[in-house]
Chains A and B, each alone.
Chain A
Amino acid sequence: NAGVTQTPKFRILKIGQSMTLQCTQDMNHNYMYWYRQDPGMGLKLIYYSVGAGITDKGEVPNGYNVSRSTTEDFPLRLELAAPSQTSVYFCASSYDPPGEQYFGPGTRLTVT
């Protein structure tokens, strides 16, 4: 069981570039989440999904898009990178909403 895996671990983008952060879980969890963690701040929910084909916005969705075509994968897309998107991004999954969330190792993104 690998749990939740994320790629890449690090990435530097130029302003206006696009990229996709990959997230995969092998625990057959229905619920998946994307968070961003800024220095000195709590994690903020970007998007979440309650199952394949179903996604919804979290607290800070602007500038991001997601898709959920399979139970295992939940990629996060940045279309036009901005310096404000410099952050550490965590993907997580859970069996049900009140249950424990299992986090991936994170992707550190810098936009310059």
Chain B
Amino acid sequence: KNQVEQSPQSLIILEGKNCTLQCNYTVSPFSNLRWYKQDTGRGPVSLTIMTFSENTKSNGRYTATLDADTKQSSLHITASQLSDSASYICVVRRNNDMRFGAGTRLTVKP
């Protein structure tokens, strides 16, 4: 209950390729969902926020989707760059409580 699970745990792709990261949650009631990017040795930085009524939101080459019925979100990265190598964390808010996923570690290779 009130869990956030992300898949895959880690992913390696070639520069220029696209990829999709998954987030499934059981957090209830749902307030909003954020995707954060965490570079190695740094704190997380917000990429997108989605509320219950939003299906898709883009931030440059990052596009997040949300299906509140099935409690699933995805983060699609287009035309990956070396600087996209990082951990991507899905965070679901329930009232004043936030639940963090363990993250997906993405490595982009030249």
Contact = CB atoms under 8 A, between A and B. Distances in A.
B102 A103 contact: no
Q: Chain B: interface secondary structure? A: strand
Given A40-B102, A42-B4, A43-B100, A98 B93 contact: yes
Given A40-B102, A92-B43, A100 B96 contact: no
B93 A106 contact: no
Residue of A41, A44, A98 most packed against chain B (CB within 10 A): A98
A31 to B, nearest CB: 9
B1 interface: no
B41 interface: yes
B21 to A, nearest CB: 14
Chain A: interface residue count, which band?
A: 10 to 19
Nearest to B38: A103
Interface string B68-110: 0000000000000000000001000100111111110000000
A75 interface: no
Given A42-B4, A42-B89, A106-B41, A101 B102 contact: no
Interface string A94-107: 00011011011110
Contacts of A103: 43-45
Contacts of A42: 4, 89, 99-103
A105 B100 contact: no
B50 to A, nearest CB: 12
Contact of B43 (A40, A45, A100, A104): A104
Contact of A105 (B4, B34, B42, B103): B42
A58 to B, nearest CB: 9
Contacts of B49: 100
14 contacts: A35-B100, A40-B9, A42-B99, A42-B100, A42-B102, A43-B44, A44-B100, A45-B97, A90-B44, A92-B43, A98-B31, A103-B45, A104-B43, A105-B42
Q: List the 6 closest A-B pairs by CB distance, nearest first.
A: A103-B43, A42-B100, A43-B100, A100-B46, A42-B102, A97-B96
